[in-house]
Structure 1
Amino acid sequence: KEFPDGYLYSQFCFYYNQWKARVNPTMHMDHKVGDKLYVDFAGEKMSITDKDTGEITPVEVFVAILGASQLTYVEAVMSQQKEDFIAACENTLHFIGGVPAAIVPDNLKAAVTKSSRYEPTLNETFEDFADHYGTTILPARAYRPRDKALVEGAVKIIYTKIYAPLNKQVCHSLAELNTAIWQALEVHNSQLLKGRNYSRKLQFEEIERQTLAPLPVLRYQFKKQFQARVIKNGHVNLGPDKHYYSVPYRYIGKRVKLLYSRTIVEIYSNYERIALHPRNKNPYGYTTDKEHMASTHRFKSDWTPDMFLDWAASIHEDVRLYILQILERKQHPEQAYKSCLGVLGFAKKAGNERLTIACQRALSYGVYNYKTIQTILENKMDNYEESLFADELPMPNHDNIRGKDYYK
C-alpha cells in the first residue's frame, strides 16, 4: 500500500537473490583424493511395472559420488530403509573397488538416529557397517545442502543423463531397471567433463583409485537386533529362531541385546560384547559355550567315559579297570557317571593307595558298584592279609566230623 509502484514478486526475488549472494557467499571446496564419498537419494523416483498386472511400483534412486574424481554410482532400491541403504553403500564400495576415508550421508534415519551440529548419533547398524569396512561416517548438517553440494549436483545431472534416456523404457524388475541404469551410468562416467580432456572414470583411475583403502575379504552381513532377558540357566532366547544361546552366568537376570546376521549371533550388555555364537535355527535347541558356565556346571558338562577313565588311570591301572567295569554295566550313562564320581571321590577321603587296594579287592569279588568300595573302606577290609582271601583254609581234624569218605 505504501509503495504501489515498487517491485513485483519476480523482480523482488531477483534482487533479493543478488543481495543474498553478496552477504552469504559460498566457498569453493578442494576435495582430497580418496577422502570422501557423498551419498544421497534422488528426490524423484523411478518405477518398475508388473508384467502380469501392469501395476506400477515406485522405487528410490540412490546416488553416490567421490569427492575428488567425481566418479558417480547410481542404483535403484525398493526403499530408503537401512537394509536397502546399507546394501547400496556396500555396492558402491565394490563398484569403485576400494574404501574412502569417510562416507558423507544426509540425515536420513537409516544413517543418523539423532542429528546434531557437533556430534550426531549414528544408526548402530550403519556404524557397524562402517567399522566392517574401516571407514568413518560424517553426516552432513541438517538442512545444510551445501555440505553435500557435490552429490546434490550429481542428482541434478542424473536426471538428464539417466532418467531422460530411460523415461520411455519399461522395466519389469529391479534387476532389469538397474541393468539399464548401469549402462547409462557407464556412458556418463566415460564422457569427457565440460571444457576438459578427461572423463570422471579416467580421472578416478589416474588420481584416486590407488588412494582408496582395500576392501575386506568378506562382505558385510546385515545384522538385526533383538532384546531379551537372560534366564536362570544362563541362556538367552533369540525370538525369531526360538533358539537359546549361552552368556556368562554372571549376567543371569539382566536384559541384553542380540545382534544377529545370517551366520552369527552377537550378544551385548551395556555396549560390551559378552558372547559370540554361530547362528543355529534349530527351534528350542541350545548352543552353549562351556566357558560361560559356573565351575560346578562346567565340570558336570565335561562328564564323559574318557574323562573318568583318565582320572582313574592317574590313580592306578586297577582303579581304571574297576571304573571301566562300572561304565560297561550301567544302563544309563548318567547313572554310571555318578557311581564313578563316588568311587573316585574316595581318593581324596582315603588316599590313592587305599582306594587302589579296595578296587583290587572288589575286582576279585566281581562286584562293580560304589557301595562295594564304600563297604571295603569303611570296614577297613583293604588292610586284611591277601592270603585270607586267596588261600582256602584246611579242614580241622575232629571225631564228630564224618569226613569225605563217609559219603561214598
Structure 2
Amino acid sequence: MANTTISMSKIRKIIRMYTNGRSIMSIAAQADTSRNTVKKYLASFKDSGFTFEEVDALNDKELEDFFGKSREMPPTGRMQSMLRCFPHVDKELKRTGVNRHILWGEYYKEFPDGYQYSQFCFYYTQWKARVNPTMHMDHKAGDKLYVDFAGQKLSITDKETGEIITVEVFVAILGASQLTYVEAIGSQQKEDFITACENTLHYIGGVPDAIVPDNLKAAVTKSSRFEPTLNETFADFADHYGTTILPARAFRPRDKALVEGAVKIMYTRIYAP
C-alpha cells in the first residue's frame, strides 16, 4: 500500500533510521511497511533540505501537512492561505527594514488561526527553495572577505554647526565566521573605500586570501564577466597586504549573498530603529 498515509510516529521512525545510516530494506522491515512507502517519504524528506531535528520538531498536525496529507490531496485551507501570502512576503522582504517576523505578524493578524512564527518560516523556506532554488556554498575560514555599500545612505549632524551631512555606509563580512564590520564614511570614492577596507582588516585582526567587492568604480574601472580591470590604487592596496581582489560578477547578487544579507540585517537593526 505504497500510496497510503501512515502514522506520524512511523514517519519519524523512518527518517530517524535513515539518518542513522540504515538501508531502505532494513527500514521497511523495522517499520513494518513497504519499500515504496519508505522511498516516498524519504524522497520528500530529502527534497525538503531540512535535518531530522528540524522536521522532528514539528507537531503531528504540521508533520501530516508536510509529509502526509499534503502529498495525497490538495493542501488544507490554512495551508493554502499561507501559501498565497508567500509571493507577497518574498517581495516585501526586499524592502528596507522589513523582516520575516514583521510579515508573519501581518499574516497572523489576518489569519488568527494560522501557523506560528517558526512553522511560518519553515514553510516559507521550503516554498522559496522550490520556486527559486540556490546552491549551498561552504566557506573556509580566512578565505574571503565580502565588501559592499548599503543602497541607502544615512546622515550625521555636525554638533557645532548643526549641518546635516549625508554619509555612505560600508559593510564587510567574513565568509566562514560571518564576522561583520560596518562603518559610515564620507563617500564611495577610492580614498574612503580603501580606508574602510583597511579599517576592516584591523578590526578582524588579519588579512583574508581574497576580498570580494561589487563592481563599484573605486574597486573596478572596467567590469567584465571574465577579467575585470581593477582600480590601480585598490590593486596596490591588495598587493601591499598580500591579498587578492575577486570582483563579483555584474548583476549577480548571489556572488556576494553574505554581504547582501548583512546589509539587510543592518537595515533592520540600524536604519529602521
TM-score, with length taken from structure 2: 0.52
Change (3 A) 1:44 1:98: same
Q: Does 1:78 align with 2:181?
A: no
Distance 1:13 1:75 in 2: 34
For residue 140 of structure 1, the aligned residue among 248, 252, 257 is: 248
Match among 129, 148, 151 for residue 237 of structure 2? 129
Q: In 1, Cα distance between the equivalents of 2:183 and 2:221?
A: 24
Output the CA distance in 1 between the equivalents of 2:153 and 2:212. Answer: 21
What CA RMSD, in Å, does the superposition of the two structures yield over aligned residues? 2.5
Residue among 185, 207, 227 paired with 1:119 = 227
The answer to whether 1:14 aligns with 2:87 is: yes
Give ranges in structure 1 of 5+ residues lacking alignment.
Answer: 1-10, 168-408
Summarize deviations over 1:227-253 as a string: whole Å, max 9, x none.
xxxxxxxxxxxxxxxxxxxxxxxxxxx
- Give the Cα–Cα distance (whole angstroms) in 2 for the partners of residues 24 and 156 of structure 1: 19
Within 2, Cα distance between the matches of 1:12 and 1:77?
39
Q: Which residue of 2 aligns with 1:33?
A: 141
Which aligned pairs between 1:194-209 and structure 2 lie closer than 5 A? none
Structure 2 Cα separation of the partners of residues 132 and 54 of structure 1: 39
Structure 1's consecutive aligned runs of 4 or more residues displaced over 4 angstroms after TM superposition are 15-24
* Structure 1 residues 99 and 56, CA gap change in structure 2 (3 angstroms): same
**1:229-285 deviation digits (Å, cap 9, x = unpaired):** xxxxxxxxxxxxxxxxxxxxxxxxxxxxxxxxxxxxxxxxxxxxxxxxxxxxxxxxx
**Shift, 1:22, TM fit:** 4.5
Residue from 151, 154, 159 that aligns with 1:43: 151
Q: Tell which has more relative contact order, 1 or 2 (C-alpha 8 A, sep 6+).
A: 2
Could you say what secondary structure the match of 1:131 adopts?
helix
Residue type of the alignment partner of 1:92: T
* Aligned twin of 1:153: 261
User: Which residue pairs with 2:214 in the alignment?
Assistant: 106
Offset, 1:51: 2.7
Residue 162 of structure 1: CA displacement? 3.0
1:44: Cα distance to partner?
A: 1.8
Normalised to the residue count of structure 1, the TM-score between the two structures is 0.35
Looking at structure 1, the residues matched to 243 and 149 of structure 2 have their Cα atoms a distance apart, in angstroms, of 20
Q: Which amino acid aligns with 1:136?
A: T
Partners of 1:144 and 1:55 in 2: CA distance: 38
Alignment of 1:205-220 (within 5 A): none
- Other structure's SS at 1:73 match: strand
Flag the structure with larger Rg.
1
Change (3 A) 1:39 1:12: same
Question: How far apart, in 1, do the equivalents of 2:158 and 2:132 lie?
Answer: 48
The answer for the alignment partner of 2:271 in structure 1 is 163
Write out per-residue CA displacement over residues 170-197 of structure 1, whole angstroms, 9 at most, x where no aligned residue.
xxxxxxxxxxxxxxxxxxxxxxxxxxxx
Residue type of the partner of 2:170?
A: F
Give, in whole Å, the separation in 2 of the partners of 1:161 and 1:24: 27
| Structure 2: gaps spanning 5 or more residues | 1-83, 92-125
Structure 1 counterpart SS, 2:182: strand
Tell me what 1:66 maps to: 174
Letter in structure 2 aligned against 1:44 = Q
Deviation sequence 1:122-172 (CA, Å, 0-9, x none): 0010000000000000000001111100000001111223334xx5xxxxx
What residue number does 1:3 align with?
none
Whole-angstrom CA distance in 2 between matches of 1:52 and 1:68: 42
1 or 2, which has the higher helix percentage?
2
Look up the SS of the partner of 1:43 in the other structure.
coil
Distance in structure 2 (CA, Å) of the matches to 1:24 and 1:47? 36
